[in-house]
Structure formats: structure tokens, C-alpha cells
Structure 1
Amino acid sequence: MNNVKSLNKWANAHTYLPVDILRMALGVFLFMKGVYFFSNTQYLIDLLSPIDKFDKFGGGMFLIHYIAPAHLIGGILIFFGLLTRWAIAGQLPILISAIIINFMGQMHHQNLLLAILTLGVCIFFLIYGGGKNSADYYFKMQQ
């Protein structure tokens, strides 16, 4: 708990507007990916096809129903800076799996680059937190 408090103090002392805009852009990007996956489920099924060979118990359908809502809800939470670290933690397994799946099946360079870039930004905000211009900071100051 002391580590999180010290990270929050450091982040609040070093908060800049471009970092908040980057957090909001990440939230919008993840939200739009969730909308795209909901509207094009066949595309998501095609992306998950390399792990379908190993799927014996219907886990692929679970993944389809986890990825799109996690992106939707996580994107909204990240945009507003509400429960930022928890929302990022929900995105990490999806992004790490996206990178691994690219190496298992046919290589999609654009998807791989997007997943690596998004993972890097997510790891940054996992450490940095929501920042000073976030709902987390606002609610913390209301206590």
C-alpha cells in the first residue's frame, strides 16, 4: 500500500496536460476497439483462430465475450481516470495475448505494432496512475 501512495505522490507532483491527453486518447482507442469488436465479431473470431486449435473446452467463446466488454468498460474508465490502474490491469492480459497470438498464426505487422504500442502505454499508466486531472485524484481530494 505504501508503494501505491508513493507512486501517487510522485505522479501528482509530475502531472502534465499532455500525459492526461495521452491517457484520454488511450481510453478512446480502447473504447473504439471494443465497439469494433462488438460490431465485427467475425473479425475477432478470425484473430483468435490460432488458439482455436488448442481450445478444447469452449474457452474461445469466453475470450470473445471478455475482450470486447473489457475494452469498452476499460476505455471509459481510463478516459475519465476512474480506477485507472484496475482498468489497465484488465487490459494487460488481452494485450499480451494479442502479441503472442501474432507469433502463433499469420503475422499481422500493423496489429502487432498497435498491440506493442498500446501495451507500452498501458504499462506506463499502470505505474503512473491517473494523474492530477483524473476522477481518482478528484475523489481522493474529496475525502
Structure 2
Amino acid sequence: MNTVKDLNKWANAHTYITLDLLRIALGVFLFMKGISFITNIQYLSDLISPIDKIGGGMFLIHYIAPAHMVGGIMIAFGLLTRWAIIAQLPILIAAIVVNFMGEMHQQNLLLAFIVLVVCVFFLFYGSGKHSADYYFKMQK
């Protein structure tokens, strides 16, 4: 627990508006990706087809889109950012793995890798000073 507090103190001391804008852009991107998956469910089904042989394909379809939408909103507002990112990590890792198991889509691989790197950064950095987490912490 002290590690998280130390990371929050460091992040609040070294906060920059560009990092907050990056966090908001990540959240909006994930939200829009979730909307895209909801509106085109066949595309999502085709994306997860290489790992559908393992089982749980319907579970994945019902997990990925809502996790992106809810997680994207939470990340954009900076509310429970680390928890929202933890929910995104299995999806992003699977997106990278699926590219190697099925047909290689270099754009999807690059996009998933960049989003994964940004998510890992915010997993350690946290939500920053301009966030709902910081606002609610200061209300005590």
C-alpha cells in the first residue's frame, strides 16, 4: 500500500497537463473502440476467432466491449484509473497474441502495442493531479 501512495505522491509532484491529456485521449480511444465493437459485433467476433477454439468466445465478446467502454470513461475522468487499466491489460495482451496466432495485421499489432505501453505507464503513474481521484482525495 505504501508503494501506491509513494507513486501517487511522485505523480502529483511531477504532473503535467500533457500527461493528463494523454490519459484523457487514451480513455476516449478505448471508449470509442468499445463503441466500435458494439456496433460491429461481427468484426469483434472475427478478431477473436483464432482464440475462440479454446472456448469462451461469447464471454470474450461480452467482456471486451463493455470493459473498453466503462474503462475508457473511468480512465478519461481519472476515476480508479489503475483498476480500469488492470481490466484493459488482458484484452491488450490478447490483442497482441491474436496477431501472432491468426492472420497478421500490422496496424492492429502496432496500435495494440502502443496502447499497452501507454496503459502500463499509467498503471504506474496513476491518474495524476487533474483527475477525479485527486479531487475526491482532496475533499476529505
TM-score by length of structure 2 reads: 0.99
Q: What per-residue deviation string (whole Å, max 9, x for no partner) do you get for residues 20-41 of structure 1?
A: 0000000000000000000000
Aligned mates of 2:22, 2:132 — CA distance in 1? 15
Deviations 1:73-123 (A, max 9, x none): 000000000000000000000000000011000000000000000000000
Structure 1 equivalent of residue 133 of structure 2: 136
Which contiguous aligned blocks of 4+ residues in structure 1 show a shift greater than 4 angstroms? none
CA distance in 1, matches of 2:137, 2:52: 44
Q: Which runs of 5+ in 1 are unaligned?
A: none
Using the size of structure 1 for normalisation, the TM-score is: 0.97
Cα offsets for 1:47-86 (capped at 9, x unmatched): 011012222xxx1000000000000000000000000000
Q: Name the aligned partner's letter for residue 115 of structure 2.
A: T
Match for residue 63 of structure 1 among 60, 65, 86: 60
SS at match of 1:32: helix
Superposed CA RMSD in Å reads 0.5
- Mapped partners of 1:131, 1:142: distance in 2: 16
Cross-structure match for 1:38: 38
> In the alignment, what sits opposite 1:113?
110
- 5+ long unaligned stretches in structure 2: none
What is the CA distance between 1:134 and its match in structure 2?
0.3
